A and B are shown apart, each in its own frame.
Chain A
Amino acid sequence: MAERSFAHEVEKLRIPAGQEFRGEGILAVTKALLQSVVGYVGGYQGAPISHLMDVLADAQGVLEELGVHFEASASEAAAAAMLAASVNYPIRGAVTWKSTVGTNVASDALANVASGGVLGGALIIVGEDYGEGSSIVQERSHAFAMKSQMWLLDPRPDLESIVRMVERGFELSEASNTPVILQLRIRACHLYGRFRTGANRAPPFTLQDALENPVRDLSRIVLPPASFQHEQEKIERRWPAALDFIRAHRLNEFFGAAGGAVGVIVQGGLYNTLMRALELNGVADAFGNTDMPIYVLNVTYPLVPDEIMQFCAGKATVLMIEEGQPEYIEQNLGMILRNAGSQTTVVGKDLLPRAGEYTGEALRRGVESFLRRYAPARLSSAAARSAHSARPQVSKAVQALAAVLPLRPAGFCTGCPERPLFTALKLLERETRPLHLSCDIGCHLFSILPPFNLGNTTMGYGLGAAGAAAFNAPRGKRAVAIMGDGGFWHNGLTSGVANAVFNRTDAVLVVIDNGSSAATGGQDILSSRADNKTKSTKHSIADAVRGVGVTWLRSIDRTYDVARMRATLRAAMIAPEKGLKVVLAASECMLNRQRRERPRESRAIAAGARVVRERFGVDSDTCTGDHSCIRLSGCPSLTIRPNPDPLREDPVAHVDNTCVGCGLCGEVAHAAVLCPSFYRAELVFNPTPIERLFARLRGKIIGLLQGIADTRRLRRAY
C-alpha cells in the first residue's frame, strides 16, 4: 500500500467534459491521458512522479472501464520497452519515471523505439528532479532527446497548458512517428490548479485487437539494413514532419509586443518565474501583460528555425533563459541565427547562472542585468517602482544566521527498521576498524549522513553490490555492500548478486527488505508481504538469492535486535567460506506499519479489548548528557532537552511523544553497554480484572516501601 492514497481524488477523473477540474498537476496529467485515448500506461515510481504512479494504481477502476492497461513496471527499462506496443499498432501508450536517473536506465529501450519509430502515439512523461528538493545527480533530460531524436515538450506550468501538451504530444508523436518526452519539473508535478475538462475516451483499437491480428514489419526492427534506413528517416521525414506540426498547431507561443530591439526566449516550464521576474523589474503586470516580446518554447527540442527568425527579426539582442547545463538550446539558437546571416546576438548564460536552478531571485537578477545592459531606458522608468531597487542590504543579524542555523540532513524515520543495521555496523566497526561500505539508492543511503556517517560510494539504483565488485581482494577485511529490496528487484539480483556469484566475489552484501519501495512512497514490490488486488506479491528474496547460487545466507526477521544483527555481520566478515555472504535484514517499513496498525489498535481499545502499547523513555535523573545513544541511533523521537538539573550544563536525552516503541534505543543501550537511563513502559488498556487486582496489590506494596524511603530521605534532606 502506497504512502499516499488517491482513492478519493481519482473520482475527479470521471468529471464529464466541459467542467472545471481542480487538483494536483499529477492528477491533471492522468485526466489528460484518459482524454487522449491512451491504450496502455506504465512506469517506475520516484519523486516527483511517484504520485502519478500512485494515482494510476488507485485509478484502476476508471482505467479498466476505458480498457486501459496499467503496468507497475519492474524498472524504467521495462517501462520504456512497453512502448513496443505502439511500433506496429495504432495504440497510444504513455510511460513515466524520474529523470534523469530513470531515463539513464531506460535508454536502451528508448534508443530502439526511437530508431524504428512508432505508429501509435508514444509519450514519455519524465519528472525532472532538478534543483531544490532533488535527491539525484543534477543533469538534463534534454541530452537524451537530442541523442535519440525524440521531441521534448516543456509546457508552461499551468494545468491548462500541461493538459493541452499531453494531448498534442500524442498527435505530434503520430504525425512524426517519433516518441515524445513530456518534461515536468518538481513544482509542476505538485501544482494545485484548474483546467477545463474534455471527455474520457476509450481506445478504438485495443491491445486485444492487436493480439488477434499481429502485424510484422521488418523495416521497423533495429537490424541492418533497417537500422541505417532509420537514421535517414529521422532526418529526411520525421524531423520535417515534427516542425510542420509544431508550427501548424502553434505549440510554441508568442507573448508581449511584436517589435522592439530586445526580446526574451524562454523554456515553457520557466515562463511563470520569468513573468514574476519581469514584473518585479517593472516591465510586466501580475497578469502577464507586458510589452516585452517573449517567445515561449513549449517544445524545447527540436527548435523551429523560421519561428526563431520571425521572432528575432529586427531585434538587436535576445535573452535566452535555459535552465541547467550544457546550454544546448542557446548553442543551437546561435547556430540557427548565424547560418541565416542574422545580426541578432544571443545572451544567456553570461547574464544568468551557468549551473543550478533558475529560482525567482536568479531570474530577477538576470532580467535586471539584461535590461540594464541592453534596454536601460525601460529599466530606469520602471525600476523606481520596483520593491527591489529599494531593498536594503542584508543586515548583520541575518548574515550571522548562516553560522547559527543547523543543517537538517534527511534521516531515518522514527522506528525505521533500517536504522538498527547501521547501529550494528557502527558497533562492528569498533572491533574491525573502519570498513569499506558500498551504498545503494534508497532510504538506507541516509547512513552516509550524521549520525551514522557510514558509506563510501553510491553508484546508482540496485548497484550497491556491483559497486563493491572491484574489491574482490580481501586480506583481513571484506567490503560490505548495501542494497534495498527496491533496488534488488530493479536490477540488483542480476547486476549485484548474480554478478558476485559468477565472479566468486568474496564480500558481504546486506539486503534490506522492508516490504515495500519505501523511499519512493511505499509502493508494493515483488517481495511485499501485503496482499495486493492487482499484483502478485510475497515472492521471497531469500529464494531468489539462493536461486542464483548464493550458499551463505543469513536472515534476520527482527532487525531491532542489534546484538544479533552485529553477531550476524561479524559472522559474515570472518566466515571461512569464500564467495558472496548475504545477510537478509527484514522488518517492515515503520511508516507503513503505523499507517496500518494505529487505526486497528484504536478500534480494539474502543471495543474494550486488552491492548498493550509500548513506549520508551529516558530518566533525566540518570542521563549524564553524553548523547552516545543519539550517535548510535539518530531516531527523530530520541531528542534532547535542557537539563532540569541546575548543576549539570549539558542537555539530557529525551524520548518525545512520536516514539512508536520499536525498542532500538533500549537495544542500543544494551549492545553498546551505554547507560541505565532507558526504560520501556507498557501502557495497558482495558486490563483484565485479575490484572487490575494484582496491580492494585503491587501498587500498595511498592507505595508502602516508597513511603518508607521518602520518610527516611526527608530526615536527611536539605
Chain B
Amino acid sequence: MRIEPASTDAAAAARALRPLSIAIAALGGQGGGVLSDWIVAVAERHGWLVQATQVPGVAQRTGTTMYYLETCPPPAGGAQPVFALMPVPGDVDIVLAAELMEAGRAVMRGFVTPDRTTLVASNHRVYAITEKSAPGDGIADANAVLAALNGESRRLVTFDMEAAAAASASAISAVLLGALAAAAVLPFPRALYEQAIRDSGVAVAANLAGFAAGFTRALADAPPAGATATAPAPGSAAGKRLDAEVRAAFPAHLHGLVAEGVRRLMDYQDGAYAELYLTRLQAVLRRDQRADGLHHGFALTAAAARHLALWMAYDDTIRVADLKTRSGRFERFRGEVGAVPGQIVYVSEFMYPRFQELCETLPAAFGERLARSALGARLPPPLFRRGRRIGTSRITGFLALYALAALRRWRRGTLRYRTEQGRIDAWLARICANGMDYELSVQIAACQRLIKGYGDTHQRSMRNFSAIMEFIDRDPGRPDLAAQVRQLRTAALAAADDDGRELRAALQALIDQPARPPAG
C-alpha cells in the first residue's frame, strides 16, 4: 500500500488508499500467465482483493505478452475498489520482465518511473528475429537498455534469471516470483508464495527450487556476470618461441590479438604456418609504421592481425573434419544436448560434399585438371547431388572424417591451399600498396569479414568481396573511398535477402555518381 505524505485533507486520506499495480511483460511461452495466477493466489490467500487480466492473442506465438494485476487490502465498510484493466504510464508499482528488451519496452511505454516502480527483470536476451537474421552482428545495444532500466526505476533487481532457471531445472516464471518475493514491495510472506506454487500442483519441486534460486539471488543482488577470458599463455617450446617473436615485433597492445592468431594457426596447421602469418603481418606492420601508424593506434595492424588469421584458417573440408572429430567437441555436444554422464548419444553431421570440394582437397595440379575434365562433368550428379548425414559417433563415419582430418599434413599441396594463398596475397598487396589512404587500407582489411560460410554461401560472400575490390580498382584515388567501402561492406552484411541485391544497388549508386565533384 502506498501511503502519501501526511495530509490533513480527509479526501486526500481516502485517496491515499490505492491499489498496488503490477505489470508483467513476458514473451509467449515464458509462463507469464502462470506467474500472474501465482500472484493472484498469494494475494487472495493473504486476504487481499485482486484483479488480473491479460492481452494474449497472436502475441502468444513468440511475441510480447502483457499481464496486468491490481491488488489491495479489503477496505473497511465493504467498499469495492474499481480496478483498472490496463496500466497507466507513471502509475505502476511493480514491473516484472522476463527478458531484457521487454524490460526496456516497459520503460519506453512509461510503465517504469523513478518515483514509483520496482523493476524485477531478467537481463538475459531472447533475440528478436531482426537481430537474428542480420548476416553480421545485428544484436541490439544491451547497455543502452540497462542504462535506461537503472535510470528509470525506483529500484532495480536484475540478473540472468534464465540461467538461474536452467540451473535449478525450473522455469523463469518461478525465478521471477522468487525475485519478486525478495524485492519485498508486496507485504506477503515467503511462505504464501511457496504455498501458491504447491497449490498449483504442477512441477512443484522444480518451481520451488526456481523460486528459491530467484529469492536468494535477488537478496544477494549480485551484479550481472560478463567476464572476459584472458588469452592463455603458451605451453610448448614452439609456442614460447613464437610468443617471444610477437612480443619483440609488435606494439604491446596488440600482443593478445596476434598471439591468438598464432595459436589459431598452430592449431590449424603447424608452427611454420604460424610463422608465415607473422611474416605476412610484419609486412603490414611496416606499412603501418611508414604511414605513421602510431597516431592511428596501429589500427591497420590490428585489423590485419584478426582478419589475416581468420582467412589463413579458412574452413576447408580438412578443417571441418578435424573440428568435428575432436574429443573436446564430443564433450561439448553432449553438454549442449543435455546428455547425462554415460548416456549413449548418436550424432550425425549434415554435410553437403560437392564435387568442387573433392577437387579442392586433391593435389593442386590433379584437382585442377579433374575439375575441368570430362569425367568431372559426368561424375557430379549421382554422387554429389544430395546432402549426406555422417554419423560421427559410429565407427565408419568417424573413420571417414578422421582420415580426412589426417590430410592436414598434405594440406599445402591441395588446390584449395593454392587458391586461398593467392587470394590472401592479393588482398595483402592491396592493403600494403604504396600511396594508399590509411583508412582505406583498414577498410580493405576489414572486408575479410564478408567472407563467410560454405558452399553456395561462401561463393556468394566471395562474390561480394570481389565486387568491392573491383570497385576499389576502378579508381583507387577516388575521394572518400574509405567511407564508401565501409558503406558497401555494411550493405553486403545487411542484404538479408541473400541475393546481394542491396550491395549491387549500393555499388550502382556509387558508380553512377561522378567520381570527383565538378570543379568550382
Contact = CB atoms under 8 A, between A and B. Distances in A.
B398 A619 contact: no
Contacts of A287: 14, 75, 79-82
Interface residues of A, number: 128
A692 B81 CA distance: 66
B234 interface: yes
A647 B306 contact: yes
B435 interface: no
A570 interface: no
Contacts of B393: 698, 702
A713 B325 CA distance: 13
A376 B259 CA distance: 73
Contacts of B395: 698, 701-702
A620 to B, nearest CB: 8
Contact of B63 (A134, A410, A702, A706): A410
Contacts of B239: 717-718
Contacts of A678: 349-350
A673 B452 contact: no
B57 A622 contact: no
B189 interface: no
A190 interface: yes
A673 B455 contact: yes
A65 to B, nearest CB: 27
Nearest to A703: B327
A365 to B, nearest CB: 10
A619 B144 contact: no
Nearest to A394: B110
Contacts of A703: 327
Interface stretch (A52-60, A174-182, A395-403, A472-480): A395-403
A191 interface: yes
Secondary structure of the B contact surface, majority rule: mixed
Contacts of B222: none
B362 interface: no
A409 B394 CA distance: 42
B449 interface: yes
B453 A624 contact: yes
A651 interface: yes
Contact of B343 (A129, A286, A391, A684): A684
A446 B62 CA distance: 11
A361 B88 contact: yes
Given A450-B133, A651-B139, A698-B393, A412 B84 contact: no
Interface string B22-60: 000001010000000000100010000011111111110
Nearest to B84: A276
Given A187-B85, A624-B452, A406 B499 contact: no
Contacts of B135: 626-628, 650
Contacts of B338: 615, 657, 683
Interface string B407-441: 00000000000000000000000000000000000
Interface string B92-111: 00000000010011011010
B66 interface: yes
Find the residue from A272, A287, A670, A698 having the highest chain B CB count within 10 A: A287
B188 interface: no
Question: What size tier do the contact residues of chain B reach?
Answer: 35 or more
B267 to A, nearest CB: 7
A108 B101 CA distance: 46
A157 B4 CA distance: 28
Contacts of A129: 57
A364 B88 CA distance: 8
A650 B177 CA distance: 35
A446 B166 contact: no
Given A649-B137, A714-B236, A691 B11 contact: no
A402 B108 CA distance: 7
Contact of A451 (B51, B133, B323): B133
B79 A430 contact: no
Contacts of A402: 108
B263 interface: yes
Nearest to B108: A401
A698 B394 contact: yes
B82 A675 contact: no
Contacts of B326: 706, 709-710
Contact of B64 (A48, A364, A408): A408
13 contacts: A191-B85, A192-B53, A275-B82, A286-B72, A619-B324, A622-B324, A624-B315, A625-B136, A627-B132, A649-B137, A673-B387, A676-B351, A718-B232
Top 3 A-B pairs, shortest CB-CB distance: A670-B387, A360-B88, A133-B55
Given A673-B454, A679-B350, 6 more contacts: A401-B144, A405-B140, A674-B456, A682-B347, A706-B330, A707-B327
Interface of B: 4, 11-12, 14-15, 17-19, 27, 29, 40, 44, 50-59, 61-64, 66, 68, 72, 75, 79-91, 101, 104-105, 107-108, 110, 113-116, 126-137, 139-141, 144-145, 147-148, 151-152, 166, 229, 231-232, 234-236, 238-239, 242-243, 257, 259-264, 266-267, 270-271, 274, 306, 309-310, 315, 319-320, 323-327, 329-330, 333, 336-339, 343-352, 354, 386-387, 389, 392-395, 398-399, 402, 405, 449, 452-457, 461, 496-499
